[in-house]
Amino acid sequence: MDTELRQLEYFVAVAEELHFGRAAKRLGLTQPPLSQQIQKLEDEIGVTLFDRTNRRVQLTHAGRALLAEARKVLADAQTAVKAARDAAAGRVGRLSVAFVGSATYGWLPEVIRAYQERHPDVELVLREMPTPAQMEALTAGEVDVGVVRLPAQHPDLHIRLVERDDCVAVVPSEHSLAARSSLFLVELAEEPFVLVSRAIWPGLYDGFITLARALGFEPRVRLEVTEVQTAVGLVAAGLGVSIVPSATERVHRRDVRYLHIDGQSPTVELGVAWRRRDTSPLVAAFLAIAESVRSGLS
Q: Read off the pLDDT of residues 73-111 as tens digits, 9 standing for 90 and up.
A: 999 988 888 878 877 777 778 999 999 988 998 889 999
DSSP one-letter code for 297: H
Query: Tens digit of pLDDT for each residue in 250-271?
Result: 888 899 999 999 999 999 999 9
Residues 6+ apart with CB under 8 A from 13: 23, 26, 27
Query: Tens digit of pLDDT for each residue in 7-49?
Result: 999 999 999 999 999 999 999 999 999 999 999 999 999 999 9
Whether the pLDDT of residue 158 is over 80: the answer is yes
Q: What is the pTM of this model?
A: 0.70
CB-neighbour burial class of residue 134 (10 A; exposed 0-12, middle 13-18, buried 19+): buried
Q: Which of 73, 34, 72 is nearest to 50 (CA)?
A: 34
Under DSSP, is residue 166 helix (H, G, I), strand (E, B) or coil? strand
Residues 6+ apart with CB under 8 A from 166: 245, 246, 260, 261, 265, 266, 267
Q: What is the mean pLDDT of the chain?
A: 92
Distance CA 146, CA 99 (A): 6
Query: Tens digit of pLDDT for each residue in 180-234?
Result: 999 999 999 999 999 999 988 999 999 999 999 999 999 999 999 998 999 999 9
Whether the pLDDT of residue 1 is over 50: the answer is no
